């Protein structure tokens, strides 16, 4: 057999991807044999399936070569556990990674097909909420590109992030049935499945040697079935894997009922167990504490760890080698149950005692924190854990017992430290998942310098004191392959023509562009590319909303989840201020400007939804006002997702990164925009600070209170009323909203916004930063009047983005946290 496999992997049975004729033959073969359609009557969907099946074959061949090599090398691996992966569409990515885009385009053209139209057929797998899930996808790309042995584990949600439409100015959510026409990229592994247990009770006994042993019995089991998606890197022989778990009912479960003759009950319970992987929770800022969410978390953690341990034992036999051979990165606390689950597997399944099991466990995990917002820090009610995962609760108690011993030793007599550091919040009777993740990990990292500092100083200070060196920073990054090469071919070509293509795998190579900022011919070409991207974006938005933007106007863009802390409201206040100014004809009349806002609000987050409505109401008023609409236009872009981002970001002039200082952990959109030649208007928050340090103060519009000033202002007693009383412009803007100017049919529509700003004390300091924001925006307007200077600064932004590649983030994780090396292939 071996020679046949060798032939399949290396021999002449393979498609020659550099030969148009060979590609065309393969395409037709795949269409006939796999898709089962006559090429003469094939539609775009058939062509999409055909191209993806052809690529899937290549993915599989190369994937096998990688795993064979790796198995041979016994390489240390990293597993990235994440509830979310926002990969974006795969087709163009795989073509680019394999270096076959142009040949494929040519081959399809010869068959009368357009590659871009075919690529549009692919659904965008929205298996994530926002930043955290997209970061996971960028990391997989960087790991594969730089040949690190990294694997993702997640959930194959049947329904991803809802799709959003705007009806009557309001967000409407629709289910994202992304699998309804199948997913050609996945490999179903019917044979790879693990039981995941819930509920039941614990029986403890002494074994023959008199040791205490515990068993978890009478459980209700669900089966986790593996679906693999291959992960390619750019121009890399390494193909890694993203394994997503899907919930199935177990046969044993069904049988119980069938044997009782209750067919309907059996099928009903089957559906119940399958709800575990049914839908992605569309909240990214407040924890609800729902049992189903807890079960989802445990479901994917348990399946992943069973799989990881089984693979380890196949290769190395010895559990004691686990920390040498693997490391597991926890993407936020969502997979933090991995800590007690590993303990359970080591003790209850493999018979280890507590101490050795704990030593191994603590040598395996690392934890990334992604948020400072207290309402987003996960805690679970003790009663719920007891009901759903009784064995894990016991283990958590034991971990806490040992942990508090150490706290007593380190802070003798300090009851406050004990209370603050406990895994159990006594006042609410909840388990603090961040504390569990910290105690169970060898390293904890924040995602930008400021974020890590605030974690260490404000959120977990005693933990930092107790374990010096445990808390480290790894500033986020984005992959330049998707966020420049793929989404902005015009700018990519221009850059490559000017400085070569080294930047595709080493973003710091972009510094070679710096001198070109002074080259007027280059500036002209750079701005011509931007112009084309703006036209593309305008057409795209016209299709989505019916509103046409003028590509000559300044494209001012804020796209991200809608949240109070991100302050889309501050953006609207500025828009209304511009509107008033233009209407009054007061000098200087700013603009023309197109303000583009996009993003989804969590379905239960009323204020965020109200902000969407306000943006749409304001847009309606402004876009229909003949006196204003040529100077100012407002567009709410519906259904912001990875695919829409790929069109939006290259077309932006101005990137809005205006969160209240101290709230946005890092941001990654900020990096994507600057990389595509937008200037940033932003606060000193998250990675904006590092972006400012890189691009220089002259090339970014920074405004507003710093994180320390926000804290001080609040401490001294911040009074939103006074701020408004002292600022006539602000007062007029607020009055206009609250008087119902934008909602004449319902004058009190925005009173909840007024209450958040005044009655509830303007938690995010929108009013406090208003004046500084206006001044910064005025500076933007002034600069935009000077296109040459604007272009210089935009080019310098691109040139100085080298630090913000996810390649750099991954190299840092690999060297400082994971201790892994690139594979030799």
Q: What is the three-class DSSP state of 163?
A: strand
Which entry of 391, 432, 560, 577 is annotated as an active-site residue? 560
User: Which stretch, 225-233, 264-272, 279-287, 797-805, contacts ligand 26V (CB under 6 A)?
Assistant: 279-287
565 is a contact residue toward ligand 26V (CB under 6 A): no
Residue number, 138 or 343, with CB nearest to ligand 26V: 138
Could you tell me if 652 and 557 are in contact, meaning their C-beta atoms sit under 8 angstroms apart?
A: yes
Q: Does 281 bind ligand 26V (CB under 6 A)?
A: yes
Nearer to ligand 26V, 63 or 128 (CB): 128
Among 140, 279, 447, 544, binds ligand 26V (CB under 6 A): 447
> What minimum distance in Å lies between the beta carbon of 509 and ligand 26V?
24
Binding of ligand 26V by 777 (CB under 6 A)? no
When asked if residue 86 is in the footprint of ligand 26V (CB under 6 A), the reply is: no
Q: Does 682 bind ligand 26V (CB under 6 A)?
A: no
Using CB under 6 A as the binding rule, the residues of this chain from 133 to 152 that contact ligand 26V are: 135
Q: Which of 88, 169, 551, 686 binds ligand 26V (CB under 6 A)?
A: 686
Q: Is 800 a catalytic residue?
A: no
Q: Please choose, out of 401-409, 666-674, 675-683, 770-778, the segment that lies near ligand 26V by the rule CB under 6 A.
A: 666-674
Q: What are phi and psi of 666, to 5 degrees?
A: -140, -55
DSSP secondary structure string for all residues of 415-447: HHHHHHH-SEETTTTEEEHHHHHHHTEEEEEES
Which CB, 15 or 689, lies closer to ligand 26V? 689
Q: How far is the CB of 558 from ligand 26V (least distance, A)?
A: 14
Residue 665 binds ligand 26V, judged by CB under 6 A: yes
Return the residue of 667, 682, 720, 802 that touches ligand 26V, per CB under 6 A: 667
Stretch that binds ligand 26V, among 305-313, 586-594, 661-669, 777-785 (CB under 6 A): 661-669
Residues 6+ positions from 683 with CB-CB distance below 8 Å: 657, 658, 659, 660, 661, 702, 703, 704, 705, 769
Is 731 catalytic? The answer is: no
Supply the minimum distance, in Å, between the C-beta of residue 136 and ligand 26V. Answer: 9
Q: Using the rule CB under 6 A, is 284 a contact of ligand 26V? A: yes
Q: Which stretch binds ligand 26V (CB under 6 A): 282-290, 433-441, 509-517, 692-700?
A: 282-290
Question: In 683-776, where do the E strands start and end?
Answer: 701-702
Catalytic residue among 391, 561, 600, 633: 561
Going from the C-alpha of 508 to that of each of 32, 396, 513, 523, 526, the distances in angstroms are 46, 44, 10, 20, 19
Q: Is 51 within 8 Å of 89 (Cβ atoms)?
A: no
Residues near 412 by beta carbon (within 8 Å), at least 6 away in sequence: none
**Nearest-5° Cα angle at 774, 769 to 778:** 150
Any contact of residue 371 with ligand 26V (CB under 6 A)?
yes
Q: Which of 158, 236, 476, 797 binds ligand 26V (CB under 6 A)?
A: 476
Q: What angle do CA 127, 131, 135 make, to 5 degrees?
A: 80
- Contact call for residues 214 and 204 (beta carbons, < 8 A): yes
Q: Does 132 bind ligand 26V (CB under 6 A)?
A: yes
In the complex, minimum distance from the CB of residue 451 to ligand 26V, in angstroms, rounded to a whole number: 8
Question: Counting contacts by CB under 6 A, is residue 664 touching ligand 26V?
Answer: yes
Residues 6 or more apart from 167 whose CB is under 8 A from it? none
- Judge if the upstream peptide bond of residue 485 is cis by omega within 30 degrees of 0: no
CA pair distance 371, 130, nearest whole angstrom:
13
Residue from 125, 130, 662, 704 touching ligand 26V (CB under 6 A): that is 130
Q: Which is nearer to ligand 26V, 108 or 448 (CB)?
A: 448
**Cβ at position 281, least distance to ligand 26V in Å:** 5
Q: To 10 degrees, the CA torsion angle through 189, 216, 430, 296?
A: 10
Mark whether 560 is an active-site residue: yes
DSSP 597: E
Applying CB under 6 A, which part among 125-133, 223-231, 705-713, 808-816 lies near ligand 26V? 125-133
- H-assigned helices in 624-727: 642-648, 669-675, 688-695, 707-716, 720-725
Report the residue from 129, 142, 479, 581 that binds ligand 26V according to the rule CB under 6 A. Answer: 129
Question: Tokens for 563?
Answer: 């949240």
Annotated catalytic residue 561:
yes
Query: Which lies closer to ligand 26V via its Cβ, residue 425 or residue 501?
Result: 425
Closer Cβ to ligand 26V, 148 or 380, answer by number: 380
Based on the residue annotation, tell me whether 668 is a catalytic residue of this protein.
yes
User: Which of residues 738 and 806 has its CB atom nearest to ligand 26V in the complex?
Assistant: 806
Q: How many residues does the chain have?
A: 825
Check 392, 566, 593, 749 and give the catalytic one: 566
Q: How many residues bind ligand 26V (CB under 6 A)?
A: 21
Q: State the CB neighbour count (10 A cutoff) for residue 311.
A: 16
Q: What is the C-alpha to C-alpha distance for residues 202 and 340, in angstroms, rounded to an integer?
A: 15
Q: Are 139 and 809 in contact (CB under 8 A)?
A: yes
Residue 809's nearest CA partner among 671, 685, 702 is 671
Considering the complex, state which of residue 135 and residue 510 has its C-beta at the smaller distance from ligand 26V.
135
Each residue 568-607 as x (binds ligand 26V by CB under 6 A) or -, in order, gives ----------------------------------------
300: closest CA among 154, 445, 85? 154
Tell me: does residue 685 bind ligand 26V (CB under 6 A).
Answer: no
Of 92 and 707, which has the nearer Cβ to ligand 26V?
707
Q: Considering the complex, what minimum distance in angstroms separates the CB of residue 135 from ligand 26V?
A: 4
**355/480 Cα distance (integer angstroms):** 44
Residue nearest to ligand 26V (CB): 131
- All residues at 6 or more sequence positions from 583 whose CB lies less than 8 Å from its CB, including other chains: 625, 627, 628
Query: Least distance to ligand 26V from the beta carbon of 494, Å?
Result: 28
Q: Residue 753: which residues within 8 A CB-CB, separation 6 or more?
A: 569, 607, 610, 611, 614, 737, 738
Apex 278 CA angle, 429 and 133, nearest 5: 75
Stretch that binds ligand 26V, among 109-117, 192-200, 251-259, 664-672 (CB under 6 A): 664-672
377 binds ligand 26V (CB under 6 A): no
* Contact string (CB under 6 A) for ligand 26V, positions 184-213, x = contact: ------------------------------
84 vs 228, which CB is nearer to ligand 26V?
84
* C-beta of residue 487 within 8 angstroms of C-beta of residue 649: yes
Cα gap 325→702, rounded to integer Å: 45
Residue ranges in 500-558 assigned as alpha helix (H): 520-545
Greatest alpha-carbon span in the chain? 91
Of 319-338, binders to ligand 26V (CB under 6 A) are 332
The residue from 304, 668, 680, 797 that contacts ligand 26V (CB under 6 A) is: 668
Task: Catalog residues that contact ligand 26V under the rule CB under 6 A.
Answer: 129-132, 135, 281, 283-284, 287, 332, 370-371, 376, 447, 476, 664-668, 686
Catalytic site positions: 370, 560-561, 566, 668, 672
């Amino acid at each position: 057999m071996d020679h046949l496999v060798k032939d399949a992997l290396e021999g002449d049975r393979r498609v020659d991807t550099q030969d148009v004729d060979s590609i065309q033959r393969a395409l037709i073969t795949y269409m006939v044999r796999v898709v089962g359609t006559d090429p003469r009557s094939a539609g775009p969907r058939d062509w999409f399936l055909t191209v993806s099946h052809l690529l899937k074959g290549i993915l599989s061949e190369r994937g096998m070569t990688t795993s064979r090599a790796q198995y041979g090398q016994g390489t240390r691996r990293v597993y990235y556990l994440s509830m979310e992966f926002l990969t974006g569409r795969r087709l163009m990515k795989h073509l680019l990674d394999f270096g076959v885009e142009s040949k494929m385009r040519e081959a399809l053209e010869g068959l009368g097909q357009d590659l871009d139209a075919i690529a549009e057929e692919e659904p965008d797998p929205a298996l994530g909420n926002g930043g955290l899930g997209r970061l996971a996808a960028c990391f997989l790309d960087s790991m594969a590109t730089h040949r690190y042995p990294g694997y993702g584990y997640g959930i194959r949600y049947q329904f991803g992030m809802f799709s959003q439409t705007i009806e009557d100015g309001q967000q409407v959510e629709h289910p994202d049935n992304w699998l309804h026409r199948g997913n050609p990229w996945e490999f179903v592994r019917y044979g790879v499945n693990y039981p995941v247990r819930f509920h039941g009770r614990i029986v403890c006994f002494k074994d023959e040697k008199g040791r205490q042993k515990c068993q978890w019995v009478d459980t209700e089991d669900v089966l986790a079935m593996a679906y693999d998606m291959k992960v390619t890197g750019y121009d890399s022989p390494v193909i890694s894997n993203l394994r997503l778990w899907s919930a199935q009912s177990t046969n044993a479960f069904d049988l119980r009922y069938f044997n009782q003759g209750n067919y309907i009950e059996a099928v009903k319970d089957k559906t119940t167990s399958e709800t575990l992987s049914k839908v992605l929770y569309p909240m990214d800022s407040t924890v609800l504490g729902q049992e189903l969410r807890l079960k989802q978390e445990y479901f994917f953690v348990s399946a992943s760890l069973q799989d990881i341990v089984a693979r380890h034992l196949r290769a190395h036999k010895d559990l004691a080698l686990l920390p040498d051979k693997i490391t597991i990165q926890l993407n936020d606390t969502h997979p933090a149950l991995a800590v007690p689950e590993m303990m359970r597997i080591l003790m209850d399944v493999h018979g280890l005692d507590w101490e050795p099991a704990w030593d191994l466990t603590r040598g395996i995990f690392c934890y990334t924190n992604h948020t400072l917002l207290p309402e987003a820090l996960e805690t679970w009610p003790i009663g719920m854990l007891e009901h759903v995962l009784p064995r894990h609760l016991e283990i958590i108690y034991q971990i806490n017992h040992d942990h508090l011993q150490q706290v007593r030793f380190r802070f003798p007599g300090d009851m406050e430290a004990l209370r603050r550091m406990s895994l159990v919040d006594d006042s609410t009777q909840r388990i603090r998942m961040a504390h569990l993740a910290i105690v169970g990990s060898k390293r904890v990292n924040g995602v930008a310098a400021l974020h890590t500092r605030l974690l260490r100083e404000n959120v977990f200070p005693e933990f930092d004191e107790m374990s010096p060196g445990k808390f480290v920073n790894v500033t986020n990054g984005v992959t330049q392959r998707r966020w420049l090469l793929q989404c902005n071919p015009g700018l990519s070509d221009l850059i490559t023509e000017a400085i070569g293509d080294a930047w595709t795998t080493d973003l710091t190579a972009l510094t070679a562009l710096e001198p070109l900022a002074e080259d007027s011919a280059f500036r002209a070409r750079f701005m011509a590319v931007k112009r084309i991207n703006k036209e593309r974006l305008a057409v795209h938005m016209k299709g989505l909303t019916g509103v046409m933007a003028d590509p000559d106007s300044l494209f001012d863009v804020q796209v991200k989840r809608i949240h109070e802390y991100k302050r889309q409201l501050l953006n609207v206040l500025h828009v209304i201020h511009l509107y008033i100014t233009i209407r009054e004809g007061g000098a200087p009349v700013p603009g023309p400007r197109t303000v583009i806002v996009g993003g989804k609000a969590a379905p239960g987050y009323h204020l965020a939804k109200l902000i969407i409505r306000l943006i749409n109401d304001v847009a309606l008023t402004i876009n229909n006002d003949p006196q204003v609409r040529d100077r100012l236009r407002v567009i709410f872009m519906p259904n912001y997702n990875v695919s829409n981002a790929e069109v939006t970001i290259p077309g932006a002039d101005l990137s809005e990164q205006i969160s209240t200082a101290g709230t946005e952990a890092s941001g990654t959109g900020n990096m994507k925009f600057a990389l595509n030649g937008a200037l940033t208007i932003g606060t000193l928050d998250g990675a904006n600070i590092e972006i400012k340090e890189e691009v220089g103060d002259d090339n970014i519009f920074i405004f507003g209170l710093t994180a320390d000033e926000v804290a001080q202002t609040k401490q001294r007693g911040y009074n939103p009323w006074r701020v408004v009383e002292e600022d006539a412009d602000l007062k007029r803007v607020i009055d206009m909203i609250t008087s119902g100017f934008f909602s004449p049919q319902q004058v009190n529509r925005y009173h909840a916004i007024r209450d958040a700003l005044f009655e509830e004390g303007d938690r995010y300091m929108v009013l406090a930063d208003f004046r500084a924001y206006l001044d910064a925006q005025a500076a933007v307007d002034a600069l935009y009047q000077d296109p040459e200077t604007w272009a210089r600064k935009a080019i310098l932004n691109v040139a100085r983005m080298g630090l913000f590649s996810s390649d750099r983030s991954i190299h840092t994780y690999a060297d400082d946290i994971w201790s892994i090396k690139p594979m030799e292939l």
